[in-house]
Amino acid sequence: MESSSALGGRAATPSSPLRCAVLISGSGSGMEALVRSQQANNLAHQTVVVLSNKPNVEGLKRAARLQIPTVVVEQSTSQGPLSREEHEFEIMKHLEAHDVEFVVLAGYMRLMSPTILERWGGRMVNIHPSLLPHFPGAHAHRDVLKAQPSMSGCTIHLVDEGMDTGSVLAQASVPLFKDDGEGELSDRVKIEEHRLYPEVLTWIAEGRVHLTKHGLEVDAREDRLVC
């Protein structure tokens, strides 16, 4: 039988959910939607800590209101800036302290280096607000509006060292309208983001996503990979 490993490492259940950390850098609306879905629907995944690289961001307040523990790991300390490796080692300490099994990036605005990927690669996903491989990077909506494709959307992908380059797990599309600005497009894409992330994390938590020598394979059952 071909060797493969489930992304979440096991088949989690609502009574023994996959312990996730959500990493944010800002508003945290995706994190809030995910936690609300977990809390309302008894899912096989649970957010056990929200970690931000920026202090005082809205996402930290949202997490506190949802009674999720929060941690801030800034890129500088009173002794000066941390190297990327030092910063990632700090993050990993907190992941271990909270017995985290899986890492969910939701608006976390930093690339990951081999330091953290050596330990967490294959157990870390990101959501990006475009239909990758089109429009990677920090200004996806602006770039989409400039290019005017007929649709945009969001992509959930494994995290690697590149900028939004990891293997794609799922995508959802939205129409683009002539008079869209960044705000309108972002709001429309976020509706899909907030629906898709809990669903894809359920596939992962239930042990339905495998990394094989051919790449990602999803036992999607009745689900569609592209919605």
Catalogue the active-site residues.
128
Residues between 51 and 70 that touch ligand GRF (CB under 6 A): 59
- Select from 39-47, 86-94, 123-131, 143-151 the region that touches ligand GRF (CB under 6 A): 123-131
Contacts (CB under 6 A) with ligand GRF, residues 65-104: none
Among 7, 21, 23, 29, binds ligand GRF (CB under 6 A): 29
The count of other CB atoms within 10 Å of the CB of residue 140 is: 24
> Which C-beta is closer to ligand GRF: that of 29 or that of 202?
29
Using CB under 6 A as the binding rule, whether residue 152 contacts ligand GRF is answered as no
Residue 213 beta carbon to ligand GRF: minimum distance, rounded to whole angstroms: 29
Per-residue tokens: 38: 């977990």
* DSSP state, residue 106: S
Decide: is 106 part of the binding site for ligand GRF (CB under 6 A): yes
Q: 8, 17, 122, 129: which one contacts ligand GRF (CB under 6 A)?
A: 129
Among the listed residues 17, 30, 122, 198, the single contact to ligand GRF using CB under 6 A: 30
The beta-carbon contacts of 86-94 under 8 Å, at least 24 apart in sequence, are 87/53, 88/112, 88/113, 88/115, 88/116, 89/115, 91/23, 91/51, 91/116, 92/116, 92/119, 92/120, 94/21, 94/49, 94/51
Nearer to ligand GRF, 194 or 207 (CB): 194
Q: Which residues pair with 210 in a beta bridge?
A: 6, 217
Pick from 127, 174, 185, 204 the residue near ligand GRF by CB under 6 A.
Answer: 127
Report if residue 122 touches ligand GRF, rule: CB under 6 A.
no
Binding residue count for ligand GRF, defined by CB under 6 A = 15
Per CB under 6 A, does 192 bind ligand GRF?
no
User: Cα 6 from chain centroid?
Assistant: 17
For residue 71, the SS3 value is strand
Query: 181: Cβ–Cβ under 8 A, 6 or more apart, which residues?
Result: 145
Comparing every residue's Cβ against ligand GRF, the nearest one is 107
| Region from 78-86, 121-129, 173-181, 202-210 binding ligand GRF, contact rule CB under 6 A | 121-129
Residue 33 CA, chain-centre distance (Å), reads 12
Q: Does 153 bind ligand GRF (CB under 6 A)?
A: no
Q: Rg of the chain's alpha carbons, rounded to an integer?
A: 17
**Both structure tokens of 220:** 């999607």
